[in-house]
Amino acid sequence: MDRAPESGNDRKLVVSGLGGIDLSAESDSGDGLDVIPWLKSPKTKKFMGKQDQLAVIAAGRALRDAGIEEGARLEGAGVYLCVGYIPFEQQDLEPLVRDSTAAGRFCMERFSSEGLEQVNPLLTFRCLPNMPIFHVSMNFGIQGSYFITYPGVGQYYLALERAVGDLRRGVVDLALVGAVADQDNFLVRHQLRRLSSSGAGSETDWSVVPDSAGCLCLELEDSARRRGGNPRLELVSFGIEYEAPDLLAGPATYSEKIAPDRRPGAAGRRPYHGAASLPLSLCQLSGAGTAEEIVHEVSTFDGFAATSCWREYA
Amino acid sequence: MPRRVAITGMGVVSPLGINLDELSSNLLDGVSGAGPITAFDPASLPTRIAAEVDVEALSERSKDRKIAFATEAARFAINDAQQAGEAISGHYPGASGGLSLGIGLELFSMPDMVRLMEAGEEPEGSEEERLTFLQSPSDICLHQICREHGLGRPPMTHISACAAATDAIGLAFRMIRDGERGWMLAGGGDSMINPMGVAGFCKIGATTTRNDDPTKASRPFDRARDGFLLGEGACVFCLEPADEAEARGARIYAYITGYGNSFDAHGISEPHPEGEGAVLSMRRALDDSGIRPEDISYINAHGTSTPKNDPIETHAIRRVFGAQADRVPVSSTKSMIGHLISAAGAVELAASIVCAREGFVHPTINLDEADPACDLDYVPEGARKVDVGYLLKNSFGFGGQNASLVVRMGNGRGARV
């Protein structure tokens, strides 16, 4: 597919900061989900689900990587975020379902009188898909433009497209382009089973769906330089195509590759990172200092085909 | 060179009807769409009323109401846009259309979830039944609409809660204006009138419990308001570059001229006390439109009928409009159709436009005694004759996402090109 060259514009777009978190990775298995250092008020953690914490950590790490100090005024910043599939956790669902059932069927009366009692009132806040962007905006003091979309890597590319458009037109001067995929849970596994084709030869390991998030700080190069930022990658080109899928026609296919792939275990089948796959891959791959190009290509369940090319700063 | 963006078609599925004439007639008469919930048995919940769509009037029979509403509204919009002029498919090459849609907050069907988790049952019925099992995820209708209408540009979902549809329309406007897309369908669809949706809102005390008096339950800006009335529905607009719309001979309802959005970056369940995000959103939309507050002749408020929203929105309007605030009529469509959540901004914009085309602004019903902190002109007495030029539409989402649109009426009504 065609990629629209970004380098054709007079002003380069650069990634000045990268942040990611992958709870399946060893380094993130322990303290990885410690969101407290990124919160303005630790008390707000009680309102946060896992997806909220993942998003805030990835954004915080990206801002720190960009050299943007904690508490800095981000008046011209915008947030462009893709949130993955529904994040209900099994431990929240099980008591709700158990106490809303009679004779193996849903019972409205039990649901009202007993099932709902099992639900923590804060669950409403923790499961809404617009909460990750709320927590990012609040904790980093961002009031700028936003685009929040759902649910996969195709939509992440749309968030990237929107961020590029807003940067080029001066709507924002710094774009946090993130994705969060809290998907290691009952409902998402059910949905992936429904959508995926896990046939032989697949490069994706559907048995591993890590909870993960990634975020890029995207800026115009001159703007990044002016504030003393240190560009890591240049966005060379990207493109998005779509053909409406026939959702009733049966399993759809998914393919994704990134080259060169120097990630650990790259030769084997890879976990499915969903919406977060591109920013997380860039986090893992950048920093080689070789001025080489990184090319990402994906074809998704829901009819998207997208590609992007990034060049490392030597 | 930025392109002007015209609204050439509107499709509405609302508690006050599924065609534009029915909608405008009910709005101007101040009719409430509220009543007891019939979609399920809510007897054991604190809130047992809502503003429901008459699903029997729809041709789309999907088990998932939000899918039925959005797909039907898209059909209505395409059909409406082709009531005058050349067919869209004939005028625009290939699959050049796009879609930008505010979709429902992710929930699931409790009866289906119990079947799945307790009984291990997956549906064995038609493919449609299997696809809509659990009524999740929320983006299924997006692909169905694209497939049905041959839309070939990547479709966008918006999940900014109560601001989602306004964001969807605003972004589509911006992409057409800046030449990133050709023509687009844009709007929103939602239904949370199900056990999880209603119970979830009850759990956080957001909805009205005035169950004995449904038509009086939604009372934005009134001293006795006690929460919002849940509604459901969808609205889709057909947006085109104005020069292309004119070239194909389309009827133009109105022009979208500005869009802004913002974060409150404040509390999780309450708006910024000074309405900071709302102020930014309105100012950005006005700036984007290149007009001043004194150019606005009508504001369609977010106006939820919740204790927190209404005074803050009032304060924010005063901050943006200054001395002009007392001059501009402000009304809340939610007083009649309730809160349609992710569809709200689109249906309310359509409500504003159909009334403005008649030369009126619709009333805010049930405003018997205004909250002292709500001191604008909310049009409480009934529909008012107003020659609307530019109108401002506000949507302020739970979670601090705010979006505003500026629209200029077409066909000579307030046109100042």
> What DSSP string describes B280-336?
HHHHHHHHHHT--GGGEEEEE------TTHHHHHHHHHHHHHGGGGGTS-EE-THHH
Contacts of B117 in chain A (CB under 8 A): 93-94, 97, 186
CATH number of B5-247: 3.40.47.10
The fraction of chain B above a pLDDT of 70, given in percent, is 98
The per-residue pLDDT for range A223-269, each reduced to its tens digit, is: 999 999 999 999 999 999 999 998 777 667 888 988 887 776 666 77
Nearest chain B residue (CA) to A195:
B131
DSSP-derived letter for residue A112 is: I
Q: What is the CATH number of the domain that holds A162?
A: 3.40.47.10
B143 and A157 within 8 Å at the Cβ level: the answer is: no
Contacts of A147 in chain B (CB under 8 A): 158, 167, 171
Domain range enclosing A294: 4-87+129-312
**Low-confidence spans in chain B with pLDDT less than 50:** 412-417
B119 and A104 within 8 Å at the Cβ level: the answer is: yes
Interface test with B, best of A52, A56, A149 (most B CBs within 10 A): A149
pLDDT-derived band at A27 (thresholds 50, 70, 90) equals: low
Structural domain contains residue A146: yes
Pick left, alpha or beta for residue B17 (phi over 0 → left; psi -120 to 50 → alpha; otherwise beta). left
| Distance separating alpha carbons of residues A217 and A177, to the nearest angstrom | 6
Distance in Å, alpha carbon of A54 to nearest chain B alpha carbon: 17
A44 and B140 within 8 Å at the Cβ level: the answer is: no
Nearest CB among A105, A137, A161 relative to B114 is that of A105
Distance in Å, alpha carbon of B262 to nearest chain A alpha carbon: 5
If you average pLDDT over residues A135-160, what whole number do you get? 96
Q: Would you call B412 exposed, middle or buried from its count of C-beta atoms within 10 A (0-12, 13-18, 19+)?
A: exposed
Structural domain contains residue A108: no
| Positive or negative: CA dihedral B239, B245, B250, B252 | positive
Contacts of A108 in chain B (CB under 8 A): 40-44, 195
- AA identity, residue A187: L
Q: Residue B185: which of B172, B176, B174, B175 has the closest Cα? A: B172
Per-residue pLDDT, A40: 94
Q: Residue B121: which of B112, B131, B109 has the closest Cα? A: B112
Per-residue pLDDT, B413: 45
Per-residue pLDDT, B35: 98
Taking every pair of Cα atoms in chain B, the longest distance, rounded to a whole number of angstroms, is 63
Distance in Å, alpha carbon of B7 to nearest chain A alpha carbon: 22
Q: Which fold has domain B257-409?
A: Peroxisomal Thiolase; Chain A, domain 1 (3.40.47)
Number of residues that this document lists for chain A: 314
Nearest CB among B44, B118, B400 relative to A137 is that of B400
pLDDT-derived band at A200 (thresholds 50, 70, 90) equals: very low
The answer on pLDDT for A37 being more than 90 is: yes
Number of compact structural domains in chain A: 1
A297 and chain B in contact, CB less than 8 A:
no
Question: B320 with B291: CB under 8 angstroms?
Answer: no
Q: Which residues of B13-39 are buried (b: 16+ CB within 10 A; e: fewer)?
A: bbbbbbbbeebbbbbbebbbbbeebeb
The domain locations on chain B are 5-247, 257-409
Contacts of B269 in chain A (CB under 8 A): 125
Catalytic center residues of B: 162, 302, 339
Residue A175 tokens read as 């774009």
Helix (H) or strand (E) holding A19, with range, is strand A13-22
The answer on pLDDT for A289 being more than 90 is: no
Structural domain contains residue A113: no
The answer on pLDDT for A29 being more than 70 is: no
Interface of A with B in 141-160 (CB under 8 A): 141-151, 154-155, 157-158
A313 and chain B in contact, CB less than 8 A:
no
Nearest chain A residue (CA) to B164:
A148
Residue with tokens 């054991």: B44
Report residue B315 CA to chain centroid gap: 22
Per-residue pLDDT, A313: 85
Per-residue pLDDT, A7: 52
Contacts of B141 in chain A (CB under 8 A): none
Distance in Å, alpha carbon of B273 to nearest chain A alpha carbon: 15
Helix (H, G, I), strand (E, B) or coil at B208: coil
Nearest CB among A148, A151, A241 relative to B137 is that of A151
Mean residue pLDDT across chain B: 94
Structural domain contains residue A207: yes
Structural domain contains residue A36: yes
Q: Residue A137: which of B401, B162, B164 has the closest Cα? A: B401
